[in-house]
A = this chain, B = another copy of it.
């Protein structure tokens, strides 16, 4: 990176990304200009730090790019919106090979292309370690955003996308294991069910969230913002055979990965009863919040989950 220079790197990253239809002015100026057809723009930002959110010995640069884009684009989908563009800030050590940055840009661009979005701008600077700051923008297509605050007692709680694979992959990588391959892949680059975000909005979802910190933690956000409780039915979670087998080999409970593992970027939404669209699995019910302030907001078969409660980056 030191040889190419910062401006050269920006140019390389910019050239690597074809511009989608929403980008009126792409990389290379003080700012990008993106279409916002209904007069609003949805925007979300995330930081990924080397060593904390990814490891260069566990993931390729391409996978890191896929993941950085995916976790941001999933936030846009979780509002019921369609992503239009991604802005990317990159800090990198001078010793980092330019090929690493080029592969990162390719991963970012390819993940964006899945949803018709593109990398519209960025900033690069030298740093001691790799930092990726991604900001995704999106289009609500005239609909109201689906927030965390609209769930009502009686709503069904449903999931689109996969859960537990990323946590399983993290555990395998930490122990130097490499089976099942799908778990490693998903940890390195999740596959959010992007189209299910707008589909949920069209179907009348009352609340929605991207599962980034773990299902119990993220449903806790919905429960608090909506001032309700949520009870999950453990038997409703289909545990894939590969995940179950991997957990058995490690002496772990696969339901723990599913309920508390983060970074799968599934979507969790609440629907007025019987309005749950195709592609979603009902896993629980919205309840009245308990009068007991100390009672857990989210329960599993009526009880507090006794395992881990997701992760808190400062804890």
Q: Is the CB of A41 within 8 A of B30?
A: no
Chain A 35-65 interface mask (CB, 8 Å, partner B; 1/0): 1111111111111010111000000000000
A85: chain B residues within 8 A (beta carbon): 43
At the interface, yes or no: A209 with Cβ under 8 Å from chain B? Answer: yes
User: What is A's interface to B at a CB cutoff of 8 Å?
Assistant: 1-2, 4-7, 9, 24-25, 28-47, 49, 51-53, 75-76, 78-79, 81, 85, 87-91, 94, 120-129, 131, 133, 135-138, 140, 145, 147-149, 208-210, 225, 312-315
How near does chain B come to A32, taking the closest CB pair, in angstroms? 5
A4-B135 contact in complex given A87-B45, A89-B46, C-beta closer than 8 Å: no
How many of these chains are in the complex? 2
Contacts of A312 in B (CB 8 A): 5-7
**Bound CA–CA A7/B43 (angstroms):** 19
Q: Are A127 and B49 in contact (CB under 8 A)?
A: yes
CA distance A98 to B184 in the complex (A): 36
Q: Is the CB of A36 within 8 A of B45?
A: no
Asked if residues B2 and A315 are in contact (CB atoms below 8 Å), the reply is yes
Q: Name, among A35, A37, A125, the residue most crowded by chain B CB atoms within 10 Å (CB to CB).
A: A125
How long is the Cα–Cα vector from A210 to B31 in the complex, in angstroms? 10
